[in-house]
Structure 1
Amino acid sequence: MQTKDMTTGSPAGLILRFALPLMLGNVFQQFYTFVDTMVVGQALGVKALAALGAAEWLTFLMFGLVQGLVQGFSLVMARQFGAGDDKGLKKAVAGAVWLSLGAAVLFTALGQLMLRPVLLLLRTPAEIIDLTLIYLRILYASLPVAFAYNLLAALLRALGNSKTPLQAMTLSSFCNIALDLLFVFGFGWGIQGAAAATVLAQLLAACFCFVKLRGSGLFSLGNKEYYPDRDVIKEQLKLGLPMGLQNMITAMGGLIVQSVINGFGVLFIAGYTAANKLYGLLEIAASSYGYAMSTYSGQNMGAARYDRIGKGLRAANLIGAATALLMSAIMVFFGKPVLGCFLTGDSVTVEGAMRIGYHFLLVLAVFFPFLYILYVTRSCIQGMGNSLLPMISSIVQLVMRTGCALLLPALIGESGVFYGEVCAWLGADLLLAFSYFYCMKKLRTAAGPAEI
């Protein structure tokens, strides 16, 4: 099994080489959600597209929680791997497996119970609420699969292996696209078919990662050596819970914004949803640099190479800002053609939704570098073992996003909700900058200036 030591060598080169396979894998992952939305929009019309949009933040609420928890668990694995502690690594894997099993059962049950009441609370339009509900019920039933894939991929990344998750996601993406076309166009299963295709594709990705890890010796959970250690469990919960809550806080802000958007009607939801799909695709590089930075700083913390963390952060932020400017250009120059891929119907409906979506893209494009800086800096701090300050930055995002969404439409109209997104980035960036310097100051105090 391939691993990668990130405690020696050029920080910029290591981060780029680690991030690029992740980026490609995430492109494929986002691409099949892109295709889901495109197939639904073209085959089933604006109402079905709006139903997917109404489901988006509820999907992120639960699956973001899963991803955050597992990412927190994996930081302990990265630290043990960086320190060369094989026994500690096995205990960290065992703890992550048992924690994931328990959380999967709990979240699946809670998710099914909360869906309809929450959709009603969010003022989901009556003409799309049933479509949204059935789509979400299928996805929430697949939470054990989501835990399995995210845990296996996070373990591989903690060991410095970002290529296997890329291969898994590439395979599952093509599978998802084929199943989308078969289930929606071929079998006529509608929005249920799109949900089923996503679940089956993620199951394939999980199986692929497990096969690659099967011979690693990290999953012999019947042996007493692999039983979870109480101290390891506590450390994983200490890191995982704030990171999961961080994503939940982000989702809560999104849900409040979604409730405002739902009040603007199906046409606005459809345009906003179409723009969000392109936004999600162009955000991928940011999350990939974030994963790379998290593993990089985690391994260097484990190896006590504190001097390399700052160098890595500066390199990653420069790479991220340059990438963000390219993504901004794509939104400006190619936004309208991409939006047209999702929208079908009479010319007045399509033109109205297009206008809404493109306005949103222009607002995002101006401020996009700040989003990339947010991902990189937050992940660096998490990799250093502090998940509380990044969680607080998510609270700042929540306050900024929801405050703007609730107040600005009264002042400048419906488009006011667009500015909540960029205000959330700016507020979080400011807090994260102070947080990073605070964490580095603590390291200097503990380790001595010569080691930083």
Structure 2
Amino acid sequence: MNNSNTTDLTTGKPITWLLSFSMPLVLGTLFQQLYSFVDSIIVGRFVSSDALGSVGATYSLNFLIIGFVQGFCVGLGIPIAQRFGAHDHPNIQRYFYNAIYLCIAISLIFGVGMSFATRWTLTIMQTPPSLIEGAITFIQPQFAFIWVTVLYNFSASVLRSFGDSTHPFYFLVLASFLNIALDLWLIGLWHMGITGAAIATIVAQLVSGLLNLLWLAKKTHMVEFKRQWFSFSPSHTKRLTYIALPMGLEYSVSAIGAVIMQMAINSLGTVAVISQTAGEKIRQMFTLPM
């Protein structure tokens, strides 16, 4: 780690870097599942079992869309990491700003598209009538504010491109505790139900994304906020898209199977959906960190 809070992974022992870089990623995913698990407990206990089922009914759809966003943002970080390793400062800037333009584009496409398509999609998935309104209440605001998810994932990806996987982890842990606190406040004290759970998720992601961005701007000294780098570059955008688009599709393609399975579970009725939701949260704790 040098004095600009970046890490050159091209020197030193590879096994040491692999372990030190990957462990925060594993622990970060574990914390994400932990607060998702606690989130479900709070919704189930303070609202109702139907509310828990409504949240669970959105998992595969959320996985499909958010999975693409996560993979796409990881892909955007790869050319930046390559240029960082090559000490090519001008192209770091060009890739960074053109990646921002792509982030804005997918935020608009998914934000507008899924905000209007939420009810239709959940209906196609045969979501039980007793759960569909709650499911829409939970997931539609998150789609409308999907730019918040893009902000966190892209800023975290850029920091990791500069060899820093620890600060995204720290900010994710902070966001996890904030999410839990907001859940208890909005659901337990203000009785906002599923709406409170949606707000807590959005606010926690926004805070973690802004902290990533602040650290990137103030501490790494790798990104320059100069007008000369702001221009759109077709060649840089093409390279970013060439890498990021397949990664987004790779992340989300497994969600197609989850959507089909969710449709089958939905056809069994409300009790089956609630039961599957409870079991799925436990399974995710052990499988997703890997």
Q: Same fold (TM over 0.5)?
A: yes
- CA offset at residue 207 of structure 1? 1.2
Alpha-carbon distance between aligned partners in 2 of 1:276 and 1:12, rounded to the nearest angstrom: 33
Please give the alpha-carbon distance, in whole angstroms, between the structure 2 residues aligned to 1:22 and 1:143: 22
Alpha-carbon distance, 1:228 to partner = 3.6
Q: 1:254 aligns with which of 237, 252, 258?
A: 258
Residue 309 of structure 1 is matched in structure 2 by none
| 1:44 to partner: Cα distance | 2.1
Mapped partners of 2:225, 2:14: distance in 1: 35
With the length of structure 2 as denominator, give the TM-score of the two structures.
0.94
- The aligned counterpart of 1:270 is 274
Deviation by residue 1:95-123 (Cα, 9 ceiling, x = unmatched): 11111012211211001111111111111
| Contiguous gaps of at least 5 residues in structure 2 | none
Task: For 1:237, give the aligned amino acid.
Answer: T
Question: Any idea what the Cα deviations from partners look like across 1:130-178, whole Å, max 9, x if unmatched?
Answer: 0001111111121111111111000001111011101111111111110
Q: Which residue of 1 aligns with 2:92?
A: 89
- Could you tell me which amino acid in structure 2 is paired with residue 254 of structure 1? A
The RMSD of aligned alpha carbons is 1.5
Query: In 2, are the aligned partners of 1:94 and 1:226 still within 8 Å (CA)?
Result: yes
* Aligned counterpart, 1:59: 62
In structure 1, the residue matched to 2:213 is 210
Partner Cα distance (2:270, 2:255) in 1: 21
Return the match for 1:148 from 140, 151, 158.
151
Q: Which amino acid aligns with 1:208?
A: L
Instruction: State the structure with more CA Rg.
Output: 1
* Secondary structure class of the residue paired with 1:127: helix
Q: Deviations over 1:214-242 (max 9, x none)?
A: 13455545512343422111111001111
Deviations along 1:370-421, one digit per CA (max 9) or x if unpaired, are: xxxxxxxxxxxxxxxxxxxxxxxxxxxxxxxxxxxxxxxxxxxxxxxxxxxx
> What's the TM-score, normalizing by structure 1?
0.61
Cα deviation, residue 66, structure 1:
1.1
Aligned residue runs from structure 1 range 153-302, under 5 A: 153-215=156-218, 216-286=220-290
* Runs of 5+ unmatched residues, structure 1: 287-452
SS of 1:285's equivalent? Answer: coil
The 4+ residue runs of structure 1 with deviation greater than 3 A are 216-222
CA distance in 2, matches of 1:126, 1:246: 32
- Return the letter of the residue paired with 2:212: C
User: 1:17 is paired with a residue of what secondary structure?
Assistant: helix
* Selected match of 1:132 from 130, 135, 138: 135
Question: Of the two structures, which has the highest relative contact order with CA contacts closer than 8 Å and spacing of 6 or more?
Answer: 2
Aligned length: 286
Alignment check: 8 A CA contact 1:18 1:160 kept: yes
- Structure 1 contact 57–254 (Cα < 8 Å) conserved: yes
Secondary structure of 1:89 counterpart = helix
Asked if the contact 1:173–1:201 (Cα under 8 Å) also holds between the matched residues in 2, the reply is yes
Determine helix, strand or coil for the equivalent of 2:129: coil
Q: Is the 8 A contact 2:155 2:212 kept in 1?
A: yes
Taking every aligned residue pair, what percent have the same amino acid on both sides? 32
Alpha-carbon distance between aligned partners in 1 of 2:226 and 2:91, rounded to the nearest angstrom: 17
Q: Which residue of 1 aligns with 2:120?
A: 117
Aligned equivalents of 2:210, 2:5: Cα separation in 1: 18
Match of 1:300 in 2: none
Which letter does structure 1 place at the counterpart of 2:202? V
**Residues 57 and 253 (structure 1), Cα distance of their counterparts in 2 relative to 1, 3 Å cut:** same
Report the alpha carbon displacement of residue 79 of structure 1 after superposing the two structures with TM. Answer: 1.0
1:42 aligns with 2:45: yes
What is the one-letter code of the residue matched to 1:118?
T
Q: Aligned to 2:155, what secondary structure does the other structure show?
A: helix
1:349 aligns with none
Give the CA deviation at 1:245. Answer: 1.6
